[in-house]
Chains A and B, each alone.
Chain A
Amino acid sequence: MTTSTPEMPVPEVRSQLTEEQAPRQQRKLTRAEKRAAEAKTKLTSPWATGFAIVLAVLWTIPTFGLLITSIRPQASIQSSGWWTWFTNPEFTLENYDTVWNGSTTAFSTFFVNSIIITIPSVVIPITIALLAAYAFAWIDFRGRDLLFVAVFALQIVPLQVTLIPLLNIYVDIGLAGSFWTVWLSHAIFGLPLAIFLFHNFMKDIPRSLVEAARVDGAGHVRIFFVVLMPLLVPAIAAFTVFQFLWIWNDLLVALTFAGGTPNVAPLTVRLAELSGTRGQDWHLLSAGAFIALVVPLIVFLAGQRFFVRGLLAGGVKG
């Protein structure tokens, strides 16, 4: 599997590095090619190649098996393994149709819910965190460092600690079981990491840039939008990808605040429920799982470069 692919140009591989290393790339390019030529001195033995291939296959087969299953007719799924598909190929989209439109599964409804939950839950914390990070980096006020450390420390609060008191407040103000609770919760839980990430970026921006704008008479708001925002695009992209995947794939928060109702619950909740109640209906589970993973997969492939950085920074999130 690994050997049959065309040779990747070196810059393509390099693009997975983080931006900090970017300036050094040009200088190292020729050396890297030299090293590639000398790669034989490294661990390249038949054993190593064999290990890589076995691992790649091992990592891919489970997903591949479920993908094949999702396009086989229900009767075949129950009576034979998916590997028999190679000798007896069959193709149907009926499973997807049943899961998407069927009255008992209705994944289309939950797919919509996932979108409705995800978009505001990404937009709101990013905006608020950008403002807060700006204040922490560029506005002088007493107690700033203390407050920043406090916000940073909140990153470690596990979600589990916050769920029940928060749910209790939502119930008291009559919002329980609505989108509002899920939006607000996700926004809150995403804030500490976002502030930390953006603050790290902002304080690396040269002070002279901000000072110059200030001398020109720009207020904080103008400095924020005109000077800083363009420089923050990579950080915002990183957090967007990270937060998007986190929310789309989240089960715990949705389960707690949205419950299982078709009005609010996202795909993950429905899928987990289906796995519990109809654990043998593999024609539904396989198609359902692929419907749930197609959107994060696209987002992930589009923003892979940024995602790694978001992950690195967000290791301690809830």
Chain B
Amino acid sequence: MSDTKAPAKTGSTRDASGIPLSKPPGLSIGALVVGVLMILLLVGVVALIVLSFFDAIPEISWPSWLVTSTQTYQKFGLMFFVVGLFVVVMGAILLMVDSRKRVPNWVVVLAFLGPMMAMLTLGLVWPAISTIIQSFFGRSPWYDQERSEFVGLDNFATLFTQPEFQIVLRNTLIWVLIVPILALVIGLVYAVVVDRTRGEALSKALIFLPMAISMVASSIIWKFVYEYRAPARPQIGLANQILVWLGQDPYQFLITTPWNTFFLIVVMIWIQTGFAMTVISAAIKAIPDDIIEAARLDGVTGLGMFRYVTIPSIRPALLVVWVTITMTTLKVFDIVRTMTGGNFSTSVVANEFYTQSFRQFNFGLGASLAVVLFIIVIPVVVYQVRQLRLSEEIR
């Protein structure tokens, strides 16, 4: 933050050297006001965090129309008010910065970056720091002076040694290993098979549609497929009806461990395959013709083409898809919560985080679960960033 004040000089020198001096001298007062307001905003966010930390924020009585809207017209009114207010404030900031008089560079920088920095400090930087600290503390919030207790690495020890949490970690591992691979393989084969066939657009849309559906709705769709009725009654779930047609007994897909986790995983594969297929399909279409032509002249056909031309050509796309689906799968929450609620040994880290934090109110354990998620994500993202850099260099 301190960096932003220094370049005022840089701005003025560049103005002097590079740009015709069409602007009249004299500082723009409006721009200065914006600059000061932005500094106040940033200071205010820090003050808010500090005051909240010491539990020293006085009770604020907001006008009720601002915080509680029960009727539809009130809600829409509030929404238009917010959007309008936002547009007006942002517009005013920009207008003042765009003055005909001289505007110091630091004011421009703050006007463009200030809102973003305030929001990220409040909503990402501070919470991440706070949660990491919390993961070394017990049940109570770490800033609660009376009840908080430092427990060191106990939370993490609990996660890795208690059987019930070992199951959670094991399940997460199963999800992360299976979903990306299967989604990738199915998506790849499908993309190759439907490439340049009749009705390609439709056959791709059918696979891709689940991406648009919320994971909650997807879970309900699949819960219905898995629906169980006692053997004597007519089945209404398709999966069990098929079992009955095959002469088997109906099966409690979501309750019988350990296979129930795999039936939840099916839902995630159902959602993610479309993504894999679309990205891979675009990559296949981008393979240069000369490569294919050359391979054909060498007598490569069918599976050989797939193995020696298609796969090596689309390797970057495969990596991106794999990393992306891995990240999404790591944080899967909606499916587990909607289908089993994490019962019957199906819980995963993201769901257990919710349970510990908002049901058990064990903030220390919840925080340590979130931190575990954080730590697993880091290498995957570092890898993704490096791949991204590579692809940019090539481009």
Contacts and interface: CB of A to CB of B under 8 A. Distances in A.
A314 B46 CA distance: 29
A21 to B, nearest CB: 6
Interface stretch (A95-103, A218-226, A230-238): A218-226
B162 interface: no
B202 interface: yes
Interface string A26-47: 0010011001100101111000
A180 B79 contact: no
B124 A272 contact: no
Nearest to B225: A62
Nearest to A38: B296
B78 A62 contact: no
A315 B324 contact: yes
Contacts, number: 425
Nearest to A132: B116
B139 interface: no
B267 to A, nearest CB: 9
Interface in A1-26: 1-8, 12-14, 16-18, 21
A132 B112 contact: yes
Interface stretch (B48-56, B150-158, B163-171, B257-265): B48-56
B246 interface: no
B31 to A, nearest CB: 10
B112 A131 contact: yes
A197 interface: no
Interface in A264-301: 268, 271-272, 275-276, 279, 282, 285-286, 288-290, 292-293, 296-297, 299-301
Contacts of A185: 123
A88 interface: no
B104 to A, nearest CB: 11
Interface residues of B, number: 155
B20 A217 contact: yes
Given A116-B76, A173-B48, A300-B212, A49 B193 contact: yes
B22 interface: yes
A184 interface: yes
A164 B357 contact: yes
A221 to B, nearest CB: 4
Nearest to B105: A141
Contacts of B213: 63, 249, 293, 296-297
A41 B309 CA distance: 13
A308 B14 CA distance: 41
Contact of B122 (A8, A157, A160, A188): A188
Contacts of B105: 139-141
Contacts of B337: 251, 272
Given A62-B224, A154-B125, A263-B69, A3 B198 contact: yes
B236 interface: yes
B36 interface: no
Given A116-B78, A315-B324, A139 B285 contact: no
Interface string B47-66: 01101100101011110001
B391 to A, nearest CB: 11
Nearest to B373: A158
Contact of B203 (A12, A52, A62): A52
A173 B62 CA distance: 9
Contacts of B341: 276
Interface in B172-218: 186, 189-190, 192-217
Contacts of B6: 141-142
Contacts of A250: 214
A77 interface: yes
Given A79-B234, A139-B112, A251-B214, A159 B331 contact: yes
B115 interface: yes
A132 B151 CA distance: 40
A151 interface: yes
A88 B366 CA distance: 51
Contacts of B210: 59, 63
Contacts of B75: 112-113, 116, 179
B331 A160 contact: yes
Contacts of A297: 209, 212-213
Contact of B366 (A36, A62, A164, A304): A164
B10, B70, B75 pick with most chain A CB within 10 angstroms: B75
Contacts of A300: 209, 211-212
Leading 5 A-B pairs by shortest Cβ distance: A143-B3, A315-B324, A188-B123, A249-B214, A300-B212
14 contacts: A16-B201, A36-B196, A41-B296, A63-B213, A66-B220, A128-B119, A160-B350, A162-B131, A179-B75, A249-B217, A271-B220, A279-B223, A308-B279, A308-B282
